[in-house]
Amino acid sequence: MMIRVLGSAAGGGFPQWNCNCRNCADVRAGKPGFKARTQSSLAVSADGTNWVLLNASPDLRQQINETPQLGSAASGALRNSPIKAAVVTNGDVDHVTGLINLREAQPFSVYGSKRVMDTLAANSIFNVLAGGVVARHDLPMNQPIAIEGPDGPTGITIEAFDVPGKVALYLEDASKGGNFGSKSGDTIGLKVSAPATGKAFFYVPGCAELDPPLRQRLQGAPLVFFDGTLYTDDEMLQQGLMPKTGARMGHISISGPEGSIAAFKDLDVAKKIYVHINNSNPVLNDNSPERKATEQAGWDVGYDGMEVRL
């Protein structure tokens, strides 16, 4: 299985259009130790020819242009794409907007939880993915599904599962109390496997907490891509950027006794990679103490173009 990180940043990307925080100013100035990053997406392939997108970020067109494997093949038909399907893990704009880039009457399949697929259906702009051309599938929870492209199976199987989190920002309903009306399917993780080789990994780009069911699921996994939004729960407040904690946004932090480094400590996961990294996060500075601490704890910090083979 080939896995490519198309975008390793959280919503807004790095740098973020309106952000002059330390990190964004430094990456914009080209300071050493800072890499620009596009928004949250992976691509996975069982055969190196047919690819499945895991999330479709607003930067998808740029990501395709920077990834020769995902471009239309010079040896192929007049209209062709190696992208056979896209699976989305929530309805946030950093994970679904890229679908709009996949207009142009090209057959492929979109998979997401019923909650998210209902949101796409309720937003007419997604009708540029014409019915009869682009197949839409509700992804059931806790059930392995062979992901199908327009020409048949992709060789990738996905099992979706609920993880602690919240509904997309633009759908929050404050009248519904502290969880803003969040329901099952609003934030999911994926177990991605290639049955032909028996290899599998987990992709959990948004997660509020490692509760016991999630811990049990990830135990002993060979590879996990995990939510690296913030290093410290209150870093956006501390930096004066936004009055929201990670907890409020549905994201566990990397550090601290409640953080993901601590939570993964006894899970025996062979390779752990942070993705969905917010521009405020000090791990984006290759030379920061926080970056060193993260790496010393056995984690990689994902970057655009990173490739992993399983």
The token pair at 140 is 């059931």
How many residues touch its own copies (CB under 8 A)? Answer: 60
Smallest distance, its own copies to C-beta of residue 61, A: 6
Residue 38 or 193 having the CB closest to its own copies: 38
Separation of alpha carbons 85 and 110, rounded Å: 6
Binding mask 98-127 for its own copies (x = CB under 8 A): --xxxxxxx------------x--xxxxxx
Q: Residue 255 CA to chain centroid, in angstroms?
A: 20
**b/e string for 32-63 if b means 16 or more Cβ within 10 A?**
eebeebbbbbbbbbbeeebbbbbbbbbbbebb
Cis peptide preceding 15, ω within 30 of 0: yes
Does the footprint of its own copies cover residue 65 (CB under 8 A)? Answer: yes
Q: Least CB distance from residue 73 to its own copies, whole Å?
A: 7
Is the CB of residue 277 less than 8 Å from the CB of residue 230? no
Which pair of tokens denotes residue 191?
A: 């177990």
Residue closer to its own copies (CB basis): 133 or 141: 133
Stretches 8-16, 144-152, 263-271, 298-306: which one binds its own copies (CB under 8 A)?
8-16
Within 31-60, the residues that bind its own copies by CB under 8 A are 36, 38-39, 58-59
Q: Which long-range contacts (CB under 8 A, 24 or more apart) does 178-184 make?
A: 182/250, 183/115, 184/113, 184/115, 184/141
The reply on whether position 67 binds its own copies by CB under 8 A is no
Minimal distance in Å, beta carbon 309 to its own copies? 25
Q: Residue 25: what residue type?
A: A
Residue 139 backbone dihedrals phi, psi, to 5 degrees: -95, 115
The verdict on 219 binding its own copies (CB under 8 A) reads: no
Place of tokens 């609920």: 162
Contact segment (CB under 8 A) with its own copies among 64-72, 153-161, 249-257, 289-297 equals 64-72
Quote the CA–CA distance of 64 and 59 in Å, as a whole number: 9
Q: Nearest approach, Cβ of 15 to its own copies (angstroms)?
A: 7
Among positions 140-179, residues that touch its own copies (CB under 8 A) are 169-171
**Per-residue mark of binding to its own copies, 221-260 (x: CB under 8 A):** ------------------xxxx------------------
Residue 287 burial (CB count, 10 A): 10
Q: Does residue 194 interact with its own copies by CB under 8 A?
A: no
What does the alpha-carbon distance between residue 118 and residue 147 come to, in Å, rounded to a whole number? 19
Least distance to its own copies, CB of residue 251, Å: 16
Which is nearer to its own copies, 105 or 196 (by Cβ)? 105
CA distance 222 to 212: 19
Residue ranges binding its own copies (CB under 8 A): 11-13, 15-21, 24-25, 28-29, 36, 38-39, 58-59, 61-62, 64-65, 70-74, 76-81, 83, 93, 96-97, 100-106, 119, 122-128, 169-171, 239-242
